[in-house]
Amino acid sequence: MKALLFSALLAASASSFACGEDEVGTLYFAQEVPEFTCHLPGLQARLEISGGLQCALEITASQTAVGTCPPVATGQVVLFRLLYFVATLRGQDVVEVQLAAATQERDLREYSDKELMLSFDLNQLSSAFDDDADGVSNIEEICNGTNPLPD
Ligand SMILES: [Ca+2]
């Protein structure tokens, strides 16, 4: 994958920020979708935030992942994880197949700004998911039309 720095602005909304001083307010996420090995129909994305928060991202026609995320508590170290995945049917169940993810740890112990800039570097985007452990990554299997899941 080509190296491209892409970034997301997590901006505070004034209304939610009025509730307290110990969190970054409502987070708006927007990030360019990287160029994957092939076109991935049904590609989905979400931002996961340590503490169990997560927000679904919409992938727009202009290939940007956008979403509104819950406020993030400051005063702690926070782990952000950007995940790209597809959902596939396995029997009767809908199963998520993880394709690529990037994580970033941010120290918000002394953080007091009302907005937070997150930057995910494509070089840090890992696509080394191989659910069936056959040596072919999930994303390659989706591109090849083979089943990435174990039997
Ligand atoms: Ca595999």
CA 44-141-137 angle, 5° bins: 85
- State the pLDDT at residue 7: 52
* pLDDT at residue number 134: 97
Residue 8 to residue 123: CA distance in whole angstroms: 16
Q: What is the pLDDT of residue 20?
A: 47
48: part of which helix (H) or strand (E)? strand 44-49
Ligand 1 center from residue 109 Cα (angstroms): 39
d(CA 27, CA 39) in angstroms, rounded, equals 28
From ligand 1's centre to the CA of 135, what distance in Å?
Answer: 6
Residues with CB under 5 A from ligand 1 (ion): 130, 132, 134, 136
Q: Are 49 and 82 in contact (CB under 8 A)?
A: no
State in Å: Cα 44 to ligand 1 middle: 19
In this structure, what token pair is assigned to residue 3?
């190296």
Q: Ligand 1: distance of its center to the CA of 133 in Å? A: 5
The pLDDT assigned to 70 comes to 84
Residue 9: the pLDDT is: 58
Expressed in angstroms and rounded, the spacing between residue 28 Cα and the centre of ligand 1 is 34
- Domain range annotation of the chain: 5-144
Give pLDDT, residue 144: 95
Mean pLDDT, contiguous 10-residue spans, the chain (151 residues): 48 43 77 90 93 92 89 91 93 94 92 81 88 97 94 81
Q: DSSP label at 139?
A: H
Q: Give the residues across from 29 on adjacent strands.
A: 67
Task: Look at residue 8 in the predicted model and tell me its pLDDT.
Answer: 56
User: What pTM value is reported for the model?
Assistant: 0.83
Spacing, Cα 146 to ligand 1 middle (Å): 9
